[in-house]
Chains A and B, each alone.
Chain A
Amino acid sequence: IAGITQAPTSQILAAGRRMTLRCTQDMRHNAMYWYRQDLGLGLRLIHYSNTAGTTGKGEVPDGYSVSRANTDDFPLTLASAVPSQTSVYFCASSDRGDTDTQYFGPGTRLTVL
């Protein structure tokens, strides 16, 4: 089934630990995005990538890093997790067509203690 997968589904992490959230899409979309969504709030962009080999910073990039070695994968790394990074993380992709409609993965629920 075509789409976006994220792993893990949920994770509880001790503060100070390193964590990588995985995101893979099989739609051959050029662009990919990472958002965080906190309770009752909208989506805030962390990092994005318009094409393999390029990345850019979004609205809330501090404490996060990304890489885009190929079209399909876009991992998000927390180098040293802090409790304020407790959130639901969504990965998305778009084909950069006429509208830039985004298609979202199922999300990763991360709790940092």
Chain B
Amino acid sequence: GQNIDQPTEMTATEGAIVQINCTYQTSGFNGLFWYQQHAGEAPTFLSYNVLDGLEEKGRFSSFLSRSKGYSYLLLKELQMKDSASYLCAVRDVDNAGKSTFGDGTTLTVKP
């Protein structure tokens, strides 16, 4: 089975940097996703990591350490529109295309 842990809520200030952590315990590893979900909307893809290290994409970066079962999503130059839930998801190893999602971290950006 898979167990994924994220903080439930975080608050940060506009213009600041915030790091959202995700730890996982899985039987095997095949990749990790971050999705963004605004209130009342569908999740949208942000990033994918399968190898250790940092992947940078504009203001968003995602880091993975497979040996530690750990990932984080780093958001720089926070904007009010970044207020959303951020879902960490681990790709299942059974090659059925499935992923297991964490409960998400609700980020509130304040002026």
Q: Output the nearest chain B residue to A56 by Cβ-Cβ distance.
A: B96
Chief secondary structure at chain B's binding surface: loop
Q: Chain B contact residues (Cβ within 8 angstroms of A): what range?
A: 20 to 34
Extra pairs beyond A42-B103, A43-B89, A100-B91 (9, CB < 8 Å)? A35-B101, A41-B103, A43-B101, A48-B96, A48-B97, A90-B42, A99-B48, A99-B91, A106-B41
- Residues of A35-84 whose CB lies within 8 A of B: 35, 40-45, 48, 50, 56, 58-59
Q: Chain A contact residues (Cβ within 8 angstroms of B): what range?
A: 20 to 34
Question: CB < 8 Å: which of B43, B45, B48, B98 contacts A45?
Answer: B98
Question: CB < 8 Å: which of B42, B97, B102 contacts A100?
Answer: B97
| Structural contact, A102 and B103, CB atoms closer than 8 A | no
